[in-house]
Structure 1
Amino acid sequence: MMINNQGIKKVLVAAPNWIGDAVLALPAIARVRELFPASRITISGLPHICELFRESPYVNDMRIYSGSLLSTVSDIKKCGFDLAILLPNSFRTALMVNLARIPLRCGYNRDGRGIMLNMAIKVDARTKKLPQTEYYMNIVNYIFGDGVFSGEQKRKEWLHLSQGELQHANEILHNFNIPSGSLIIGINPGAAYGSAKRWHPERFALLCRTLVNTHNAKVIVFGSQQELNIAAEIVNLSQVPVISMAGKTSIRELMSLIKQCSIFVTNDSGPMHIAAALNIPIVAIFGSTDPEKTGPMGNNHIVIKKDVDCSPCFKRKCPTDLKCMDLITVDDVLKGVERIIEKQ
């Protein structure tokens, strides 16, 4: 379905609710900016999701979801948007833009929300198999038709940081006596979705010990407040100097510190996608999920996954023996890191 973009002055893009999904949506959002160079593009989403878009050249404004649906609708309605592009599949998002009376409302026709969209996209077998980045791009292509994505498809960095943020990250490293030019390995042992996506902490600890002793690496463990215990276990078991930044960073600080890393070793998670969008080489550990669908953007990464009959299961918690993670050894991950080191 093609529309005349000349009459579209204000565009609302509803962002996905998970960090990883929001990052995977960046090429689609960049495509919207390319198609509407003179329009005002606003991102709406949860507070931590909107933080990803500060400094972004793709958007002009952010609308953070407030406490209630009606207050959010009232806020959005005042803006006078011409077009709403819904990236998440949620019923609530469709209801929100419908109640806000945005004239054009585009998103996937699923979860009973098609009646609230006047540009509803059919979800067929092909659509369901699309990698997540293409799943989001398919929405934009439905509105405007397939086209060449001028140079942006070759972009290596999709997230943006200010010089002040990068300087702040450098100051943090300096405070930990990490000199410029060090081999900095970021470790992300958590995964907000659930334990089925997490490699074992004791194996992360052994990996840290080997990297410090063999490669003189400076290792930084990242994580949320909910992952403090995992990070502490890794630090204690590693028996070498390891810095934990778990629970100590905002989203923007996490981004700026990841940008300083030489390599990022991570489970399938939001921070994995942040690292990829900042063009940091990744060793990604996959268990219950599918790297073909939600793997890191770019081609300078190494994905480690074992073939197991029950994987991908996409479960939050493994109902059996977590074999998909048990089969991944420290040596598997170490070899991945060393392959990247050899290229640097």
Structure 2
Amino acid sequence: MEKFLVVGPSWVGDMVMAQTLFKLLQQRFPGSQIDVLAPAWSHPILARMPEVTQAITLPLGHGQLGLRSRWQLGRQLKSEAYTQAIVLPRSWKSALVPFAAGIPKRRGFHGEQRFFLLNQRRPLDKKQLDQTVKRFAALGLDSNEAVMTTPLPAPALRVDPVQQQRLQQEFGLDQQLPAIAMMPGAEYGPAKQWPLSSFQKLAEELVATGYQVWVLGGPKDRAAGEVIAQSQHPSIVNLCGRTQLADVVDLLALTEQVVTNDSGLMHVAAAVGTRVHAIYGSSSAAFTPPLTENKVIHSLNLDCSPCFKRECPLGHTRCLKDLHLGVKELTHAGRA
């Protein structure tokens, strides 16, 4: 039996997309054990992936070098006798734990001179592997080229019906009205964020036509949620900062549709099957699309986009400010 240690990514969306890799590994090596080394915040997401045996905490914050801690963790994991390691990040530090653990096969892409840390290095052809999910999948296949001929399974997170019922009662959510979620956050920066005034206007239109709107996000998004819910209409509920990540998984699965920036929660929504209205400004749906057929992409495709910048280099952010999405587009869409 193969026993894998996968060094996972550091972003919510990337962790969701990594499930495609886990599914491929289970298909190729039935009954294999897949452990994922990842930040503690990601454990609720990994717990909803049936392919993952266990999540191992990387006790370091995002961007921390922590070479000594990584080495010590690797030596602790040596007794686990992993047969293969797959390192998704391209940094030198991310490859240190599998090396210290003495894992015989250690695979990853070229990057940061990891010559002795990884003994199965792959070139990263960005034209061939033009999506994040393809890059993750390639490391679970025999070659980069195999990605082009292998059907890639989409992420699919488990949902907890008991928790869904609890959350509806805890937050006083109407179980009769259809729900549409809004996710106004985008950790990367403002060049990926549709204006809050646009979210707020759409929310008002939706409740006027018989919907309830749930605004979802973390503590950093609480103020944004307050702007969207400023009318204090009882059918617009600001849940930003009031939920855990696992709660968001269950709540999104209850919604009819979501309106979202290109963000980690966009990928969570896609992985629970709800219809995704994804708004793209500085980023591109060609590179990080919601991994579902049940989606609508909204982008103006301006000449200056995608620029992939955190802030608009031209200072106007027209790619988002000029994008209009009304209730008509949502109410006529329904579920695919």
TM-score under structure 1 length normalisation: 0.88
| Residue of structure 1 equivalent to 2:218 | 224
8 A contact 1:77–1:101 mirrored in 2: yes
CA distance in 1, matches of 2:126, 2:278: 28
Structure 1 residue 202 and structure 2 residue 197: aligned? Answer: yes
Q: 2:243 aligns with which of 249, 253, 256?
A: 249
1:119 Cα deviation after fit: 0.6
Q: 1:187 aligns with which of 178, 182, 187?
A: 182
Deviations 1:266-300 (A, max 9, x none): 00001100000111101111101010110101111
Could you tell which deviates more after superposition, 86-95 or 203-212?
Answer: 86-95
1:95 Cα deviation after fit: 2.2
Structure 1 residue 267 and structure 2 residue 261: aligned? Answer: yes
CA distance in 2, matches of 1:176, 1:16: 32
| Residue of structure 2 equivalent to 1:292 | 286
8 A contact 1:206–1:238 mirrored in 2: no
8 A contact 1:302–1:336 mirrored in 2: no
| Residue of structure 2 equivalent to 1:3 | none
| Residue of structure 2 equivalent to 1:23 | 16
Structure 1 residue 59 and structure 2 residue 60: aligned? Answer: no
| Residue of structure 1 equivalent to 2:316 | 321
Secondary structure at the aligned position of 1:265 is classed as strand
Secondary structure at the aligned position of 1:292 is classed as coil
| Residue of structure 2 equivalent to 1:283 | 277
Secondary structure at the aligned position of 1:120 is classed as strand
CA distance in 1, matches of 2:144, 2:267: 27
8 A contact 1:159–1:278 mirrored in 2: yes
Secondary structure at the aligned position of 2:127 is classed as helix
Deviations 1:26-78 (A, max 9, x none): 11111111222232221111112232111422121211102432332233223
Secondary structure at the aligned position of 2:158 is classed as coil
Secondary structure at the aligned position of 1:252 is classed as helix
CA distance in 1, matches of 2:2, 2:287: 33
CA distance in 2, matches of 1:238, 1:202: 15
> Could you list the runs of 5+ residues in structure 1 that have no partner in the other structure?
1-7
Secondary structure at the aligned position of 1:296 is classed as coil
| Residue pairs, 1:88-167, within 5 angstroms | 88-127=89-128, 129-142=129-142, 146=146, 153=153, 158-161=156-159, 165-167=160-162
Counterpart amino acid of residue 185 in structure 1: I
Counterpart amino acid of residue 103 in structure 1: P
8 A contact 2:167–2:247 mirrored in 1: no
**Structure 1 268/176 Cα, relative in aligned 2: closer, same or farther at 3 Å?**
same
Counterpart amino acid of residue 30 in structure 2: P
Counterpart amino acid of residue 90 in structure 1: S
**Structure 1 73/52 Cα, relative in aligned 2: closer, same or farther at 3 Å?**
same
CA distance in 2, matches of 1:309, 1:149: 33
8 A contact 1:202–1:237 mirrored in 2: no
**Structure 1 49/143 Cα, relative in aligned 2: closer, same or farther at 3 Å?**
farther
Counterpart amino acid of residue 28 in structure 2: L
| Residue of structure 1 equivalent to 2:27 | 34
Could you tell which deviates more after superposition, 64-73 or 99-108?
Answer: 64-73
Deviations 1:87-142 (A, max 9, x none): 22222111222222211000101232244211100123434x52111121111123
CA distance in 2, matches of 1:247, 1:176: 13
Identity %: 26
**Structure 1 143/11 Cα, relative in aligned 2: closer, same or farther at 3 Å?**
farther
| Structure richer in helix, relative to its length | 1
Secondary structure at the aligned position of 2:187 is classed as coil
8 A contact 1:108–1:114 mirrored in 2: no
TM-score under structure 2 length normalisation: 0.90
| Residue of structure 2 equivalent to 1:4 | none
1:178 Cα deviation after fit: 3.6
Q: Aligned residue pairs: how many? A: 326
8 A contact 2:138–2:144 mirrored in 1: no
CA distance in 1, matches of 2:145, 2:325: 46
